[in-house]
Amino acid sequence: MTKIQTFKEKLFALKKESIKLQRDNAVKFDGKERYRFADLAQIQDKLEEPLERLRLLITHQVVDGALLTTLWDLDSEESLTSSIPLTTHKAQDKGSEITYYRRYNLLALLDLKTEDDDGKKAQESKKTFSPNTKARTQAVAKKAPIAQIKEHYTVSKENETLYLSLIK
3-state helix, strand, coil in the chain (%, to 5): 45, 25, 30
Cα–Cα distance measured from residue 106 to residue 47, given in angstroms and rounded to the nearest whole number = 10
Q: What is residue 142's DSSP assignment? A: H
Is pLDDT larger for residue 126 or for residue 57? 57
The mean pLDDT value for 19-35 works out to 72
The set of residues, in sequence order, having a beta carbon less than 8 Å from that of 130 and lying 6+ positions away, is: 136, 156, 159
pLDDT of residue 55: 95
Entry pTM: 0.60
The fraction of the chain above a pLDDT of 90, given in percent, is 29
pLDDT of residue 150: 74
The set of residues, in sequence order, having a beta carbon less than 8 Å from that of 74 and lying 6+ positions away, is: 55, 56, 57
The set of residues, in sequence order, having a beta carbon less than 8 Å from that of 19 and lying 6+ positions away, is: 46, 47, 50, 110, 112
Cα–Cα distance measured from residue 78 to residue 17, given in angstroms and rounded to the nearest whole number = 21
pLDDT of residue 1: 45
124-138 per-position pLDDT tens digit: 555 666 656 666 677
